[in-house]
């Protein structure tokens, strides 16, 4: 399979190169040139299969040429063996035809592990084969950072630099990044918000001299490998609830638009998804876009669901590419307009957006209320992000079964959960001592030159 850039100026690449590149050379994002299609027999054949078997069937066409079928099977099996539930992404019923898909069973307790653990294993294999070293610089709103550190810690041929917005992640999230003992891991608190961190990573890619000097690789949610790995749990969920013979809807707590974009791809490939609900917190640029067609930035308001405190949803560019019939010139001018404020979607693009997505936003008060409500009705403790998804699911639900993705474990956000329910969620035993481990981090200015000298000084 070949991958092309949304901005039309970078060369088409195969999976291996796309995996290592992250961002395209023209500043765009890679997407498959064409998508495989699933028919009803294919989906029926997945019923009753393990998560690993479904993963193999879903992603083999995307990775063909990079991994043999057997190599891929082994990498998948090694990846998910690390997860705490044999179903990997178990379903839990929280109402009439209303379900949670629990995606916090990996080592850092957020859904990011599903993709990051897999691409960590992909990177290890590919870099060993090519005998290459790589530097990874990643931005995180909280959960990507620890997931990347966990996936790449201790590897000989990778240095990992993680930028997070100082004071804007939960204590548990910060400590998951700053208490790693691995020598190839650097956690950096940036004086700025998540969009600033993300802009620093983009600047690193766009400075071609620096990019080539340090052999920069990207594992942010714009990495195609991550999007691809997230398609799997939409499929495993839908077939276990009756696909292809029944339609399923999903509500997805959304920030950078990577997770829900994977659901959109699953639908394009033939999974019978009825509705995809973009669930936002008070940082609701995507909700406003669906409602009004206007996509304008509005400053980040810190919330109790910090992993979604984002204005620039990077993966939205991939969707725009489809909404504008894959016209890369349109994308270049829209992205330019976004730099200075935003843009209004064309009538056709807005129609196509609304054909594929619904949206709901969830205020802070509603998030607290949803955590309490689900606890009172079912005994489950939701993290604030998952509560945003559950709230939107309840509002958007009609006759079709609705699945809210539970994107993180409640114990990553104990203050909000305690305020909502009076209960303190317990961390799993392997993380129980995290608040007393030694921290290692550096605070850096929101300045690209500062970042460059830091990376140059530290990488081996
Ligand atoms: C990253 C994250 C999200 C948002 O996912 P996107 O792919 O960025 O839209 C939601 N919830 C949690 C817990 C996260 O870590």
- CA separation for the pair 460, 132 (Å, rounded): 13
Strands 91-95 and 294-296: unpaired
> Are 108 and 428 contacting, i.e. CB atoms less than 8 angstroms apart?
no
H or E element: which one contains 161? Answer: strand 158-165
Instruction: Report how far ligand 1's centroid is from the alpha carbon of 138 (Å).
Output: 15
Task: Please choose from 254, 283, 409 the residue to mutate so as to test ligand 1's pocket, defined by most ligand atoms within 8 A of CB.
Answer: 254
Q: How many CB atoms lie within 10 A of CB 51?
A: 22
81, 84, 89, 94: CA torsion to nearest 10: 170
Report the mean per-residue pLDDT for the chain. Answer: 96
For tokens 């082994």, name the residue.
Answer: 74
135 Cα distance to chain centroid = 20
Alpha carbon nearest to ligand 1 atom 1, residue: 307
**How is the chain split among helix, strand and coil, in percent rounded to 5?**
50, 15, 35
Instruction: Report how far ligand 1's centroid is from the alpha carbon of 132 (Å).
Output: 31
- Residue 425 DSSP SS3: coil
Identity of the highest mean pLDDT range in 128-137, 195-204, 234-243, 426-435:
234-243
Q: Select from 102, 55, 48 the least CA-distant residue to 75.
A: 55
372, 378, 380, 382: CA torsion to nearest 10: -40
List, for residues 410-453, the tens digit of each pLDDT value: 999 999 999 999 999 999 999 999 999 999 999 999 999 999 99
Find the residues whose C-beta lies inside 6 A of ligand 1: 110, 112, 143, 221, 253-259, 307-308, 385, 407-408
Task: Please choose from 227, 289, 307, 357 the residue to mutate so as to test ligand 1's pocket, defined by most ligand atoms within 8 A of CB.
Answer: 307
| Per-residue pLDDT, 23 | 85
- Residue 28 DSSP SS3: coil
Give the CB-side neighbour count of residue 334, counting CA atoms within 13 A.
27
- CA separation for the pair 220, 229 (Å, rounded): 13
List, for residues 95-126, the tens digit of each pLDDT value: 999 999 999 999 999 999 999 999 999 999 99
Please give the number of the atom of ligand 1 that sits closest to the Cα of 254. Answer: 9
List, for residues 4-60, the tens digit of each pLDDT value: 999 999 999 999 999 998 889 899 999 999 999 999 999 999 999 999 999 999 999
Please give the number of the atom of ligand 1 that sits closest to the Cα of 230. Answer: 7
Which residues are known catalytic residues? 112
Burial class from Cβ neighbours inside 10 Å (0-12, 13-18, 19+) for residue 440 reads middle
Instruction: Report how far ligand 1's centroid is from the alpha carbon of 260 (Å).
Output: 9
């Amino acid at each position: 399979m070949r991958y092309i850039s949304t901005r039309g100026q970078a060369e088409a690449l195969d999976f291996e190169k796309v995996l290592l590149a992250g961002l395209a050379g023209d500043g765009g994002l890679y997407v498959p040139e064409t998508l495989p299609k699933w028919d009803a027999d294919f989906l029926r054949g997945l019923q009753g299969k393990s998560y690993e078997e479904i993963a193999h069937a879903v992603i083999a066409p995307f990775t063909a040429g990079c991994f043999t079928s057997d190599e891929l099977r082994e990498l998948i099996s090694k990846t998910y063996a690390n997860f705490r539930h044999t179903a990997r992404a178990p379903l839990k019923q929280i109402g009439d035809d209303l379900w949670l898909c629990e995606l916090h069973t990996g080592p850092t307790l957020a859904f990011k592990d599903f993709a990051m653990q897999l691409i960590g294993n992909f990177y290890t294999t590919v870099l060993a084969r090519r005998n290459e070293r790589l530097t990874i610089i990643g931005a995180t709103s909280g959960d990507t950072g620890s997931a990347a550190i966990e996936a790449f810690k201790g590897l000989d041929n990778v240095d990992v630099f993680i930028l997070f917005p100082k004071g804007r992640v939960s204590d548990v999230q910060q400590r998951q990044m700053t208490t790693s003992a691995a020598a190839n891991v650097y956690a950096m608190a940036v004086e700025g918000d998540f969009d600033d961190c993300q802009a620093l990573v983009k600047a690193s890619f766009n400075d071609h001299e620096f990019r080539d000097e340090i052999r920069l690789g990207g594992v942010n949610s714009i990495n195609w490998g991550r999007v691809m790995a997230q398609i799997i749990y939409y499929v495993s969920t839908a077939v276990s609830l009756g696909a292809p013979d029944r339609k399923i809807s999903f509500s997805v707590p959304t920030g950078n638009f990577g997770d829900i974009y994977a659901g959109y791809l699953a639908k394009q490939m033939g999974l019978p998804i009825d509705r995809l609900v973009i669930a936002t917190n008070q940082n609701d640029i995507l909700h406003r876009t669906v409602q009004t067609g206007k996509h304008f930035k509005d400053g980040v308001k810190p919330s109790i669901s910090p992993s979604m405190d984002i204005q620039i949803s990077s993966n939205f560019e991939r969707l725009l590419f489809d909404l504008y019939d894959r016209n890369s010139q349109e994308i270049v001018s829209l992205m330019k307009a976004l730099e200075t404020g935003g843009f209004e979607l064309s009538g056709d693009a807005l129609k196509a957006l609304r054909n594929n997505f619904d949206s709901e936003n969830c205020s802070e008060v509603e998030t607290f209320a949803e955590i309490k409500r689900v606890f009172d009705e079912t005994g489950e403790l939701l993290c604030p992000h998952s509560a945003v998804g559950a709230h939107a699911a309840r509002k958007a639900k009609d006759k079709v079964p609705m699945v809210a993705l539970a994107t993180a474990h409640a114990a990553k956000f104990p203050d909000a959960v305690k305020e909502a329910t009076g209960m303190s969620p317990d961390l799993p035993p392997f993380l129980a001592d995290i608040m007393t481990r030694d921290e290692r981090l550096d605070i850096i200015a929101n300045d690209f030159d500062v970042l460059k000298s830091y990376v140059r000084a530290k990488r081996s």
